Amino acid sequence: MEGGSNDATSVKVSARDLDVFYGSTQALHGISLDARANRVTALIGPSGCGKSTFLRSINRMNDLIPGMRRQGRILLDGADIHDPGVDVVDLRRRVGMVFQRSNPFPKSIYENVSYGPRIHGVSDRGTLDEIVRTTLEQAALWDEVKDRLGASALSLSGGQQQRLCIARALAVEPEVLLMDEPASALDPLATARIEELIHELKERYTILIVTHNMQQAARVSDTTAYFYLGRLVEVGPTAQIFTNPAKQETEDYITGRFG
């Protein structure tokens, strides 16, 4: 099936009239956007357009920024993530995140992957071993590191470190995976591996990915949303956005006339 509009899968993440302010600056203006389960939603747009802010709103990482204010709602499976009853710890377990620059802890490969399960109360060694193995397999890293799980994560290459960070995020069994330009610091080969991985991961997860790379958005995503100056300009099936966008601004950006 091509595209997202007539898609059979359910809506997993849904933003409704989301405004975000940093101090007196408004970073997001009334964003309403749906991300479907088992689909990849790409967020594109020039630097400072609010796509990362939007991404970081979904797991409430923006809460850590002093002076941040928000209006509007974000629904995860139909439930507002800002409800007073929602535990942000539980939200972040369900909504994993992979950052632009790979940020493994200066610990061993094993400790990196088992960090999440451990903080969520798994202490049985056998269970941890199993989680580490399966998540490293899912992140397509197992074969490369299975003989040196005790080695420092910092001894891995950049691409391997990023796949380790993906494994680390998967280890807490999230439902949604947020990826903030996960391949922007990687060489083309490592990038290709990450894209391949995204393709496999969408079988099990809902993925939202921020990218500066148009080709990447076209290759990996089912739905594309174009942000500009904190507003959502256009959203639609990726094939349509890239071949026949409804708005002139979108076309200008995609064809590289600006941005």
Partner 1 sequence: MSSRLPGRPSAAWKGSAFVALCGAAAAIIVAMLAIILADVVRNGWAGLGWEFLVSAPSEGMRGGGVGPAIFGTFALVLLMTIAVVPVGVLTAVYLFEYARPDSAFARAVNLAVSNLAGVPSIVFGLFGLGFFVRFVGGGIDRVFHAGELAWGKPSILWAALTLALLTLPVVIVTTGEALRAVPVAAREASFALGATKWQTISRVVLPQSLAGILTGAILAVSRGAGEVAPIMFTGAAYFLPKLPTRLTDQFMELGYHVYVLSTQSPDIEATKPILYSTVLVLLFLTFLLNATAIAIRARFRAALRPQDA
Find where tokens 């490592």 sit. Answer: 190
Q: Amino acid identity, residue 101?
A: R
Give 43-91 as a DSSP string.
Answer: EE-STTSSHHHHHHHHTTGGGGSTTEEEEEEEEETTEETTSTT--HHHH
Out of 40, 44, 55, 169, the residue judged to bind partner 1 by CB under 8 A = 169
Selected binder of partner 1 within 46, 70, 80, 99 (CB under 8 A): 99
| Of the residues 21, 22, 115, 142, which one makes contact with partner 1 according to CB under 8 A | 115
Count other Cβ atoms within 10 Å, centred on residue 16: 14
Q: What are phi and psi of 258, to 5 degrees?
A: -155, 165
Binds partner 1 (CB under 8 A): choice among 156, 201, 210, 233: 156
Q: Which residues is 98 bridged to in the sheet?
A: 179
Least gap, CB of 57 to partner 1 (angstroms): 13
Contacting range for partner 1; rule: CB under 8 A; set: 36-44, 73-81, 97-105, 245-253: 97-105
**Rounded Cα–Cα distance for residues 253 and 104 (Å):** 34
Binding-site size for partner 1 (CB under 8 A) equals 31
Q: Is 159 in the site for partner 1 (CB under 8 A)?
A: no
* Least distance CB 153 / partner 1 (angstroms): 9
Which residues, numbered 35-64, are part of the site for partner 1 (CB under 8 A)? 59, 61, 64
In this structure, how many other beta carbons lie within 10 angstroms of the beta carbon of residue 222? 22
> Is residue 155 at the binding interface for partner 1, with CB under 8 A as the rule?
yes
User: What is the layout of strands, in order, in the sheet containing 25-36?
Assistant: 25-36, 11-22, 68-76, 79-80
Contact between 172 and partner 1 by CB under 8 A: the answer reads: yes
Binding site for partner 1 (CB under 8 A): 59, 61, 64, 89-93, 96-97, 99, 101, 103-107, 115-116, 119-120, 152, 154-157, 160, 165, 168-169, 172
